[in-house]
Amino acid sequence: MLAAKTITLPSGKTVKQPFNKIIIPAVISIAVFIVCGWVVLQNKGTLKLYEIGTIFKQLFSPTDYPAMNIHHTWADYFGYLFSLEIREALGETLRMSFIGSIIGSVLCLPFAILCSQNIVKTKWIYVPMRFIINLVRTMPTMVMAVIAVSLIGMGALAGIIATSIFTFGIMTKMLYECIEALDMGPYEALQSCGANKTQAFFYSVFPQLLPTYLGYFIYNFEINVRTSIVLGYVGAGGLGVILQANMDSIYTRSRVGAILIMMFLLVLLMQAFTRYVRGKLQ
């Protein structure tokens, strides 16, 4: 199969068919998949396919347990959907991610400048800086939240710390890449016209950087809303807290469904909002 095929053309020439290079990655990835699948299948639970219908019914319809004398109606379901508990949790999620994004994106400014090769020309400053930033970025937000919760206790503050560290890491990386790709021509032109370095920075580099920076901020805000929705699952405030509180009992599972609907709406709204703002920025 791997041997090259020779084809004789009508004109008498012989052509060698080139070896199809896609076979190598395909074979390797299928082999790795088989190994990984074997490892994954070592740790499997008991399959209960009939549960699919039950769980969706429990989630997206009002609870009805005659044996426990629980008879909820659709009015109860929609009442919970817009209840104070959910509204407060939604607000907390939004505030948490907003503060986290603000803190992270302000903190990242000096570090982004220290990381960029074309401004700091000393190698032993920007290389260790980048290493630290990469180290910060390896931690998922959820892991950060777990550490913060066990350090300072449950609540929105843990979530704020987690989201701001995450935003700090990703914003620094995006921003220093952006600074390195900047056109330094206007900066030099202004300096040759007699502007000093500060003036040249504010009239050439700053206007180039500002729209990108704001765009990155909005992008991060959207990501943070998505992640902080579930951060509460480990106790870091927001919608996840009530999700976790209602998850265990079957009697409150319709509440979980209502929370899921609100999560979905929040994420959709955030998407529309960021799309609108990004359109305005360009």
Q: Is 107 in the site for other proteins (CB under 8 A)?
A: no
Q: How far is CA 159 from CA 97, 218, 232, 240, in A?
A: 8, 18, 8, 11
Give the residue, chosen from 27, 70, 143, 189, that forms a contact with other proteins under the rule CB under 8 A: 143
Q: Is 149 in the site for other proteins (CB under 8 A)?
A: yes
Phi and psi of 2, rounded to 5°?
-80, -10
Q: Is 153 in the site for other proteins (CB under 8 A)?
A: yes
Residue indicated by tokens 């987690």: 162
Q: Is 22 in the site for other proteins (CB under 8 A)?
A: yes
Nearer to other proteins, 38 or 121 (CB): 38
278: tokens are 């990004």
Nearer to other proteins, 33 or 203 (CB): 33
Dihedral Cα 137, 139, 141, 145, nearest 10 deg = -130
Give the residue, chosen from 114, 171, 200, 229, that forms a contact with other proteins under the rule CB under 8 A: 229
114: tokens are 């220290």
Give the residue, chosen from 92, 104, 114, 169, that forms a contact with other proteins under the rule CB under 8 A: 92
Bridge partners, 64 (sequence order): 71
Segment near other proteins (CB under 8 A); pick from 5-13, 66-74, 147-155, 173-181 = 147-155
Number of residues that bind other proteins (CB under 8 A): 63
Give the residue, chosen from 24, 32, 125, 210, that forms a contact with other proteins under the rule CB under 8 A: 32
Segment near other proteins (CB under 8 A); pick from 1-9, 36-44, 112-120, 175-183 = 36-44
CA distance 100 to 165: 8
Phi and psi of 70, rounded to 5°?
-110, 115
The DSSP code for 45 is: -
Q: Is 41 in the site for other proteins (CB under 8 A)?
A: yes
Q: Is 10 in the site for other proteins (CB under 8 A)?
A: no
Contact 66, 130 (CB under 8 A): no
Q: Is 23 in the site for other proteins (CB under 8 A)?
A: no
Residue indicated by tokens 């990242």: 108
Q: Is 218 in the site for other proteins (CB under 8 A)?
A: no
Give the residue, chosen from 89, 96, 129, 236, that forms a contact with other proteins under the rule CB under 8 A: 96
Q: Is 69 in the site for other proteins (CB under 8 A)?
A: no
Contact 83, 275 (CB under 8 A): no
Q: Is 206 in the site for other proteins (CB under 8 A)?
A: no
Nearer to other proteins, 55 or 178 (CB): 55
157: tokens are 């503050």
CA distance 210 to 281: 10
Nearer to other proteins, 119 or 186 (CB): 186
Measured at the CA of 132, the angle between CA 128 and CA 138, to 5 degrees, comes to 140
Q: Who contacts 65 (Cβ-Cβ below 8 Å, separation ≥6)? A: 251
List residues near other proteins by CB under 8 A. 22, 25, 29, 32-33, 35-37, 39-49, 51-52, 55, 59, 91-92, 94-96, 98-99, 102, 134-135, 138-140, 142-143, 146-147, 149-153, 155-157, 160, 226, 229-230, 233-234, 237, 243, 247, 260, 263-264, 267-268, 271
